């Protein structure tokens, strides 16, 4: 008897490997996935300018794409805030702010993006960075403050827009732009409040761990990559070990062995950070 509805996720036609520079931009869900990749010592940069929730705000920082080989974009909401104090233009999206900075609500107009607006905004960006590989996701985190109905409408717009982007971009890019169904995994495959955190909005640690495992099956399936992941994850865990007796000879020997392994692995992975266990 089966008590869940597994999401069928085809393997990506391309893989993420250790020599790839990976950029995450978007909602805080992207930070969760990035944190897991960091534990396996991938070259990850996650939201260097802060968390971004809507497609317009993410586009504002698309110049960062040039520094990456793989860009993972997570749309969180289709709702944006337009700054009423900025000069009006033909396109109101020119006045979308990334952060309201605790200014009075009366200074902004709340606006829900359409699928067409998102697609028209993002297609030129994808064309500009045709040499990059893109993964789009829609965050499963619910924006309850918007209202449950409004949240569903927002997610529907995002899902529809991403589907259109992937379909149109992939025709020319041979699958270099694709979609990872994090939203569907949490809401359809897991589909239980036990997979949510105490706030009933964010996924629990177990849910994030499971979603990451499905991500790995989709993009990290190379046998060599998986072997390196096991080796580097062990190094990460050992380097973050906090001993009860840091002055003991046993721990000093352990710390020395960790640094020795780090130095050896740096010959293949020169970006590994300094380790001071």
For 96, the 3-state DSSP assignment is strand
Q: Tell me, what DSSP letter sits at residue 102?
A: T
pLDDT of residue 174: 67
Residue 138's DSSP bridge partners are 75
Q: In which band, very low, low, confident or very high, does the pLDDT at 191 lie, cut at 50, 70 and 90? A: confident
| CA 264 to each of CA 19, 228, 260: distance values in angstroms, whole numbers, following the listed order | 17, 13, 6
SS3 238: helix
pLDDT tens track for 31-74: 989 999 999 999 999 999 899 999 999 999 999 999 999 999 99
What pTM does this model have? 0.90
Q: 5 and 188 in contact (C-beta within 8 Å)?
A: yes
pLDDT, tens digit (0-9, with 9 covering 90-100), for 78-93: 999 999 999 888 888 8
| Domains of the chain with bracketed CATH | 21-80+114-221 (3.40.50.1110), 222-277 (no CATH)
Q: What is the structure's pLDDT at 197?
A: 82
The stretch 23-34 carries a mean pLDDT of 91
Q: Specify the pLDDT at position 1.
A: 65
Contact call for residues 143 and 98 (beta carbons, < 8 A) = no
What does R_g of the chain's alpha carbons equal in angstroms? Answer: 21
Rounded Cα–Cα distance for residues 2 and 118 (Å): 38
Two tokens at 91?
């396109």
pLDDT at position 273: 78
Instruction: Please give the average per-residue pLDDT across 241-257, as a whole number.
Output: 84
Q: What is the percentage of the chain residues whose pLDDT exceeds 90?
A: 62
Q: Are 75 and 136 in contact (CB under 8 A)?
A: yes
């Amino acid at each position: 008897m089966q008590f869940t509805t597994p999401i069928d996720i085809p393997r990506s036609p391309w893989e993420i490997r250790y020599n790839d520079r990976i950029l995450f931009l978007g909602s805080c869900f992207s930070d969760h996935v990035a944190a897991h990749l960091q534990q396996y010592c991938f070259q990850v940069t996650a939201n260097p300018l802060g968390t971004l929730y809507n497609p317009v705000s993410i586009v504002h920082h698309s110049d960062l794409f040039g520094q990456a080989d793989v860009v993972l974009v997570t749309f969180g909401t289709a709702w944006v805030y337009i700054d009423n104090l900025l000069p009006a233009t033909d396109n109101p999206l020119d006045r979308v702010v990334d952060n309201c900075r605790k200014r009075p609500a009366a200074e902004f107009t709340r606006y829900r993006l359409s699928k067409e607006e998102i697609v028209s905004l993002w297609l030129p960006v994808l064309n500009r960075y045709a040499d990059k590989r893109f993964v789009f996701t829609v965050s499963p985190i619910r924006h309850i403050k918007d209202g449950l109905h409004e949240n569903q409408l927002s997610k529907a717009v995002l899902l529809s827009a991403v589907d259109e982007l992937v379909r149109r971009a992939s025709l020319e890019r041979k699958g270099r732009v694709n979609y990872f169904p994090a939203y569907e995994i949490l809401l359809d495959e897991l589909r239980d409040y036990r997979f949510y955190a105490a706030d009933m909005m964010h996924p629990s640690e177990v849910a994030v761990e499971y979603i990451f495992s499905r991500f790995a099956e989709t993009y990290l399936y190379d046998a060599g990559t998986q072997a390196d992941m096991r080796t580097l994850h062990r190094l990460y865990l050992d380097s973050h070990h906090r001993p009860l007796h840091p002055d003991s000879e046993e721990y000093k020997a352990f710390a020395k062995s960790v640094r020795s392994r780090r130095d050896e692995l740096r010959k293949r992975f020169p970006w590994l950070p300094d380790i001071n266990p």
